[in-house]
A and B are shown apart, each in its own frame.
Chain A
Amino acid sequence: MSLERPDTTDDAAIERSPDELEALLGNLVVKRDDHLNAPGFVIRPDTVQETLSILKEQAGYDHLSLVSAQEYESRYESIYHLKKFDDPTQEVSVVVPADKDDPVSESAEPVFRTADWHEREAYDLIGIEYDDHPDLRRILLPETWQGHPMSMDYDRDRPQIATLPKHANPLQEHYKDSESDTMFLNIGPHHPATHGVLHLKTVLDGEQVVDVEPDIGYLHRCEEQMAQSGTYRHQIMPYPDRWDYISAGLLNEWAYARAAEDLADIEVPEYAQVIRTMGAEMCRIAAHMLALATFALDVNGDFTATFMYAINDRERVQDLLEDLTGQRLMFNYFRLGGVVWDLPEPREEFFSKTRDFLDQLPGSVEEYHDLVTSNEIFQMRTIDTGILPPEVAKNYGATGPVARGSGVDYDLRRDDPYGYYDELDWDVVTEEGCDNFSRLLVRMREVEESAKIIEQCVDLLEDWPEDERNIQANVPRTLRPDDDAEIYRAVEGAKGELGIYIRSDGTDKPARFKIRSPCFSNLQTLPEMANGEYIPDVIAALGSLDIVLGEVDR
């Protein structure tokens, strides 16, 4: 079957039991604190780099998926959620408690570059300080913010008013000293190519980029905090639609559904899984179509034929999703234990509409290849620009089409199966080019794979016996997972690995709800791709990352 991974004979790929890992780490481990998804090792805050190096170098845990931080009554805690790119079902959590009065912990940045932003966020929102971090500043909130909003003693009623002159004004940075010939340029927060409100602090030497630093947080909407004040059963599900709001709603909902279902031990009926799989892949097509459309916009400039054609195709998927869920963007279709309602009646009409769409899709994709990928100017612009080598991509925790465009064969749908994916016949798409062109090509080919999945789902759903159409498992009216249960689960979102970490405290609301946004990690790679390139290549690289600021900032 196509879903089997190529064999790896690497030492690092060997699966080790939790006890073997504990033996490997030796006396670094203070105690065990297992999570539902992985063994957890509590270590001292000054041994973070040592522990993570051993796990990375000797045990093959080369993917720092997420750093989640939180405050307890008696301590602060950072958790490093590690996985393997070769097999993401092998997970381990490194738990680092920090002192309540002086929350300092060693930074993991020298071992995993991706920890840079994750730790900055932990510092910003929770208040843990990371020793040896290269640049520990606020990342989501303005630099004038007082206090750390997700810490326990934070006064939410206190107004946070800072006058404009108090802010570090990026316009005042001149770079006019006599030694340098560089020019500082603010790209954004209002710029046609930033796909939302992103601010790139760029230093130029002529037209070439010397340094670029993404400044995020303009669209921070306290999504984690809001999820923490909602009940598991119904109140959280509408929020995921609003992270990656560009029609990837069902994929996001699945991330929460998967984490919460595993936490509360809910079994989802097979029929609902097939519907979920179909809906999720429709969302993926819609999201990738928009990625293609906006990328063409970035490279072509102005409104182009490609943009409108791709939007037209996306519109067809949106119509299908509207029929299925009753909504066009904020679907709110998944429920813990299933989906909210069955396929629309008459079913035949929905099936034939879906098949019509699937039939015309290869023609459309062909047209995009004619218009875009086979155009010499387009190739000239995108091939060998925005290079992201696979090792760098892994180090930054890049996932999704960004990683697959760099030849990293990593797709959670196959490697950590959920839903109905492992029963279906489809392929994981990778490209070896590591450039802007490859990332676009991966998305275009993934559209075709998604179409294959949808087609198989439609076949299954058509023949599903009428009395076995169970869309919803029995779920208690109020969910109260066990006290102090912790879980981290991820799904393959449109942009990559979308994970949710939940800690339960025995109530009907999560005590800590942390989102691992794929765009957040992917955006971190931008400086690697951009330095030394021309401005247009930076714009193209940014477009090829396909970020959604709603998900980056949450």
Chain B
Amino acid sequence: MGTAPAQLFPEFLVETFGLPGVLGEVVAALIAAAVVGNIVLAFTGVAGPWAKRKITAAFTDRIAVNRVGPFGLLIIPAAAVQLLAKELIVPEGVDRPTWDIAPVILPASALLGFSVIPMGRLGPINFQLADPEVGFALVFAFASIASVSLVMAGYASNNKYSLLGGLRAVAQNLAYEIPLIVTAMSVVIFAGTLQMSGIVGAQTTTLVTIAGIDIPAWYAFVNPFAFVLFVTANMAEVGRNPFDIPEAPTEIVAGYQTEYSSAYFVLFYLGEFVHIFLGGAILAVTFLGGASGPGPESIGFIWFVVKIWGFFLFTQWARSAMPRVRIDQLIEIGWKGMLVLSFANLVLTAVIVGVIA
């Protein structure tokens, strides 16, 4: 589309520090990946769990952590030490190494998704690691690897609750992944590209101007119907209320997580957070104009972070207030409702775009 792709983070490093040759590119890529990875982990592993406790407490008339450090902030290192110091219990009869790999796959796959997310600029740096032509397809592929991890964990745990959780994860994923991607395709039709930077770029134009305020052409404003569908499917994709069926603590005792403790549990816990944040990032890129927002382009990263946290807040709100649907109801909503609606949306979008273009 209009704007030329911005300089990517690794390229920026190569240029700034004059790193030579292929080796220089590899080093720059590794450094860039480490930086982006740590930023994401700082949100998901450090700020996320603390904020989650505070937010949920605010929703439910409680105070939450307030003893360890100011605003209970030191609970984060305390909890980290506590969780890592716990005994890693390996139950009899688990299917190793599947059982050991599963907790690694979940956070890894979600982190991988961030490699193609254009997170916007902060000063001279454009936080995007890669911008392949099929970036949009890639990010959904990464995001859905998560359910492989859940199935592996559920199956390998040699526990009936875990097995049920794993089965539910598959059923849920099948029912929601298709509407999710079909809805995302309607955005691709609008943007005419699968490249992440292109999709973001297509949303920078002004849709309408009301009372002197420019409303940008974010796809959430262009096609609110698709936006609602996408948010709903995304909630199911990341497995939050009302779709936290694979975990369902009061029914199947946290499902696939039941047998995990200590570091493995931390990995799952972290993975879920990264996954929610990745869900928020995809939503921001697809429907909320990526890093665009008021002010200069150089603070775009901050807007992007705000949008991700906005989605995170939304999931926490839903978690506090909404009941969980039953597995058969979820599948019914997915196959009989969402799928039909998402295809209707796709066809309608295609027709409209075809007529206008």
Contact = CB atoms under 8 A, between A and B. Distances in A.
Interface of A: 183, 185, 191-193, 207, 296-305, 307-309, 312, 371, 375, 377-378, 380-381, 534-537, 539
B323 A378 contact: yes
B91 interface: no
A134 to B, nearest CB: 28
A305 B325 contact: no
A32 B163 CA distance: 60
A536 B320 contact: no
Given A185-B161, A296-B323, 5 more contacts: A305-B59, A377-B242, A377-B325, A380-B329, A539-B250
B253 interface: yes
Nearest to B242: A377
A327 to B, nearest CB: 25
A375 B241 CA distance: 14
Interface in B247-302: 247-253
Lowest 10 CB-CB distances: which A-B pairs, in order?
A308-B60, A193-B250, A378-B323, A300-B323, A299-B323, A377-B323, A536-B326, A305-B60, A305-B320, A301-B324
Given A207-B164, A305-B320, A375-B322, A297 B242 contact: no
A535 B245 CA distance: 12
Contact of B321 (A299, A305, A381): A305
Contacts of A371: 321
A428 to B, nearest CB: 29
A308 B325 contact: no
A62 B168 CA distance: 44
22 contacts: A192-B253, A207-B164, A297-B250, A299-B323, A300-B241, A300-B323, A301-B247, A301-B250, A302-B319, A304-B60, A304-B320, A305-B59, A305-B321, A307-B60, A308-B61, A312-B61, A377-B324, A381-B324, A381-B325, A536-B248, A536-B324, A539-B251
B324 A300 contact: yes
Given A380-B329, A534-B328, A304 B249 contact: no
A301 B248 contact: yes
B137 interface: no
A207 B61 CA distance: 35
B159 to A, nearest CB: 10
Nearest to B245: A536
B160 interface: yes
Nearest to A298: B250
A191 B326 CA distance: 19
Residue of A193, A305, A307 with most chain B CB atoms under a 10 A cut-off: A305
A118 B200 CA distance: 69
Contacts of B56: 303
B249 A301 contact: yes
A488 to B, nearest CB: 38
Contacts of A297: 250
Contacts of B247: 301
Q: How large is the interface on B (under 10, 10 to 19, 20 to 34, 35 or more residues)?
A: 20 to 34
A301 B244 contact: yes
Contacts of A308: 60-62
A173 B211 CA distance: 72
A193 B251 contact: yes
B269 to A, nearest CB: 14
A312 B325 CA distance: 26
Nearest to B321: A305
Nearest to A538: B251
Contacts of B320: 303-305
A443 to B, nearest CB: 17
A184 to B, nearest CB: 8
Nearest to B250: A193
B323 A381 contact: yes
* Main secondary structure on A side of the interface with B: helix
B251 A302 contact: no
B108 interface: no
B249 A302 contact: yes
Contacts of A380: 325-326, 329
Contact of A537 (B161, B249, B326): B326
Interface in B310-324: 319-324
B327 interface: yes
Contact of B327 (A183, A192, A299, A536): A536
Residue of B60, B244, B325, B328 with most chain A CB atoms under a 10 A cut-off: B60
Contacts of A302: 241, 244, 249, 319
Contacts of A378: 323
A191 B242 CA distance: 21
Contacts of B164: 207, 535
Nearest to A539: B251
Interface string B332-343: 000000000000
A375 B322 CA distance: 8
Contacts of A207: 164, 168, 327-328
A537 B323 CA distance: 13
Nearest to B254: A192
Nearest to A535: B251
Nearest to A372: B323
Residue of A304, A309, A378, A380 with most chain B CB atoms under a 10 A cut-off: A304
B60 A303 contact: yes
Contacts of A536: 248, 251, 324, 326-327
Contacts of A191: 253
Nearest to A307: B60
A488 B164 CA distance: 47
A309 B61 contact: yes
Interface in B137-196: 160-161, 164, 168
Contacts of A535: 164, 251-252
Interface in B4-63: 56, 59-62
Contacts of A300: 241, 322-324
B272 to A, nearest CB: 13
A539 B323 CA distance: 13
Nearest to B329: A380
B60 A381 contact: no
A536 B247 CA distance: 12
B160 to A, nearest CB: 5
Residue of B61, B62, B168, B250 with most chain A CB atoms under a 10 A cut-off: B250
A183 B250 contact: no
Contacts of A193: 250-251
B326 A192 contact: no
Nearest to A186: B160
Contacts of A303: 56, 60, 320
Nearest to B163: A183
A534 B248 CA distance: 13
Contacts of B244: 301-302
A366 B121 CA distance: 48
Nearest to A382: B323
A375 B329 CA distance: 15
A377 B320 CA distance: 14
Contacts of B328: 207, 534
Contact of A375 (B60, B61, B323): B323
A30 to B, nearest CB: 52
Given A193-B250, A312-B61, A380-B329, A304 B321 contact: yes
Residue of B61, B62, B251 with most chain A CB atoms under a 10 A cut-off: B251
A534 B325 CA distance: 12
Contacts of A539: 250-251
A53 to B, nearest CB: 41
Contacts of B251: 193, 301, 535-536, 539
A377 to B, nearest CB: 5
A455 B327 CA distance: 44
